[in-house]
Amino acid sequence: MSTQAIIGQLPAQQFFCTLNFKGQQIDASNIISLTIREHVLDILPRIDLTIADLGHMIETLTIEDDDILTVSIAKDSESKAFLTCDFAMGDYEVQVQGSNQMLHINMPGNLMDTDMFKIKTRAFKNKSSQDMLKVIAQETGLPFTNPLKVIPSDQMTWYQCTQNNYGFIKHILKRAYVFNDVVLFYATTQNKFVYTSLNKEITKLNYKNAVYNVEQTEIKTDDNDQNIYYNSFDIVNLSALFNNVSSIGLQASYFDAKLGSQKAMVNFPFKLLTNSSFINKDNFGDIVYDHYYGTYNNLNLYSEKYFESEIRNKYLINNFFANSVAIQINADNQVQLFDKINVAIPSIVSSNNQNNVMSGMYLVGGIVHHVSLNGIYKKTLLLNRNGNNASTFRESSNK
């Protein structure tokens, strides 16, 4: 980063983060808080930025909707950036500090694209969800990838009626169909779109190891050490809510022009990363919510599994993402969304110092990058799976 004096520059910095706004560099020492969130359910990575301003951005540059902010984060000035992204900034809020001598500017934004939020009305005949999402990716200027070669079975006519591409993506994902699976589509901080499915991600063989060790969270000096070290973790479980609204079973009722009243049902387990699902076993198979639709016909307006796919997708997503383990890791670890992580979580009661119930395989559902005022960069992984391992007591009592 240039050492040239910058308008409104505040003293000192301890991390290497560059901000470029409308072609002007904003010194990293002005950052109060910078958080970038990417998640497999969010479609676009998001940024929340709070900076201290001495009038440069408000009075000199002028902030407008969709202004571009380029963020680059690296270990030091000599290292290659492990995150470089352009964000289109939206609304902003200005708070006056210190008798009008300083401003705090809060700015949210989304990963920059060329055509995500323009309203469109159009139709696409005889296309699959993959075909449609590939079209949208091309329109937004981000490359489309399908790394696990997911093949959908949802050929139909797709309508985009007074809807932007962001809303249309959500519309498509609700109705996308892959047998016994759910389609996911999201952009990454590597500036590409990924088309994939949950069960394909669960069953892939490659994984990384995450080990709890407070001593090893600094930058690794051994290039042969492939472990991910973390020094804190939190566990959030919403499976009780999930079991009340969808885990036990979902049903869709609709009218078929030839067959009359019909029902589509989802109430089965799917691929697990554990041996104990979060599904309420006592009530498994009971229908707790019934979806009602209109008419189905064979004019290629609907895919064969249209109604089933709507409830199946909701069912599988709610089941898998009801449980999260958040671990804070070193930014030097190169982790991407949907990486498979074998996590060893420490135990309070076990003699081998590992919580066997919570430890095991997870998928990376989200990544949070946070840079704070005092020069601390934090990288947090949000890990998901659809169950726990059975405890030692339960295993022995079942024998």
Averaged confidence pLDDT in the chain: 84
pLDDT score, position 173: 95
Q: How many domains does the chain contain in total?
A: 4
Domain limit, last residue, from 76, 111, 146: 111
- Residue 330 covered by a domain: yes
Domain limit, last residue, from 314, 334, 361: 314
The answer to whether residues 288 and 248 touch, using CB atoms and an 8 Å cutoff, is yes
Q: Which domain holds residue 342?
A: 205-238+322-397
pLDDT score, position 300: 60
Q: What is the CB neighbour count within 10 angstroms for residue 125?
A: 10
**Which SS3 state, helix, strand or coil, does residue 172 take?**
helix
Report the pLDDT averaged over residues 61-70.
Answer: 86
pLDDT score, position 6: 47
Do residues 68 and 129 share a domain?
no
Indicate whether 187 pLDDT > 90. Answer: yes
Do residues 105 and 215 share a domain?
no
Least confident of 60-64, 143-147, 202-206: 60-64
Bridge partners, residue 344, by sequence: 211
Do residues 105 and 43 share a domain?
yes
For the chain, what is the radius of gyration of the CA atoms? 24
Do residues 69 and 131 share a domain?
no
Do residues 221 and 306 share a domain?
no
Q: What is the DSSP letter of 203?
A: H
Q: What is the CATH number for 338?
A: 2.40.30
CB burial of residue 365 (10 Å; 0-12, 13-18, 19+): buried
Q: What is the CATH number for 107?
A: 2.30.300.10
Indicate whether 372 pLDDT > 70. Answer: yes
Do residues 48 and 141 share a domain?
no
Report the pLDDT averaged over residues 230-255.
Answer: 83
Lookup: tokens for 275: 């041996």
The answer to whether residues 106 and 95 touch, using CB atoms and an 8 Å cutoff, is yes
pLDDT score, position 260: 84
Angle at 87 between CA 82 and CA 92, to 5 degrees: 130
CB burial of residue 154 (10 Å; 0-12, 13-18, 19+): buried
Whole-angstrom Cα distance, residue 226 to residue 206? 13
Domain limit, last residue, from 86, 111, 136: 111
Of 280 and 66, more confident? 66
* Nearest to 278, CA basis, from 286, 289, 270: 270
Distances (CA, A) of 34 to 54, 81, 98, 244, 249: 18, 16, 22, 36, 41
Please give the model's pTM, rounded to 2 decimal places: 0.87
pLDDT score, position 47: 95
Do residues 184 and 101 share a domain?
no
- Residue 184 covered by a domain: yes
Least confident of 246-255, 319-328, 362-371: 246-255
Report the pLDDT averaged over residues 298-326.
Answer: 82
- Residue 309 covered by a domain: yes
Least confident of 253-257, 318-322, 342-346, 389-393: 389-393
Indicate whether 59 pLDDT > 60. Answer: yes
- Residue 222 covered by a domain: yes
Report the pLDDT averaged over residues 196-210.
Answer: 94
Bridge partners, residue 186, by sequence: 194
pLDDT score, position 251: 86
Lookup: tokens for 32: 């109060």
Indicate whether 131 pLDDT > 70. Answer: yes
Indicate whether 229 pLDDT > 70. Answer: yes
Whole-angstrom Cα distance, residue 139 to residue 176? 20
Q: What is the pLDDT of residues 20-36, one digit of tens each?
A: 988 888 877 888 899 99
pLDDT cut 90: percent of the chain above it = 39
327 falls in which pLDDT band (50, 70, 90)?
A: very high
Angle at 61 between CA 59 and CA 66, to 5 degrees: 120
Least confident of 3-7, 91-95, 118-122, 386-390: 3-7
Do residues 140 and 250 share a domain?
no
Report the pLDDT averaged over residues 111-133.
Answer: 93
- Residue 160 covered by a domain: yes
CB burial of residue 267 (10 Å; 0-12, 13-18, 19+): middle
φ/ψ bin of 4: left (φ > 0), alpha (ψ from -120 to 50), beta (otherwise) = beta
pLDDT score, position 182: 94
pLDDT cut 70: percent of the chain above it = 88
Question: What does 53-72 look like in DSSP terms, one character per residue?
Answer: ESSIIIIII---TT-EEEEE
Q: What is the CB neighbour count within 10 angstroms for residue 143?
A: 12
Q: What is the CATH number for 142?
A: 3.55.50.10
Indicate whether 49 pLDDT > 90. Answer: yes
pLDDT score, position 2: 37
Do residues 234 and 326 share a domain?
yes
- Residue 4 covered by a domain: no
- Residue 6 covered by a domain: no
pLDDT score, position 4: 40
Report the pLDDT averaged over residues 315-323.
Answer: 88
pLDDT score, position 336: 94
Indicate whether 221 pLDDT > 90. Answer: no
11 falls in which pLDDT band (50, 70, 90)?
A: very low
Do residues 125 and 181 share a domain?
yes
pLDDT score, position 140: 94
Do residues 104 and 148 share a domain?
no
- Residue 5 covered by a domain: no
Do residues 80 and 193 share a domain?
no
pLDDT score, position 7: 46
Indicate whether 8 pLDDT > 60. Answer: no
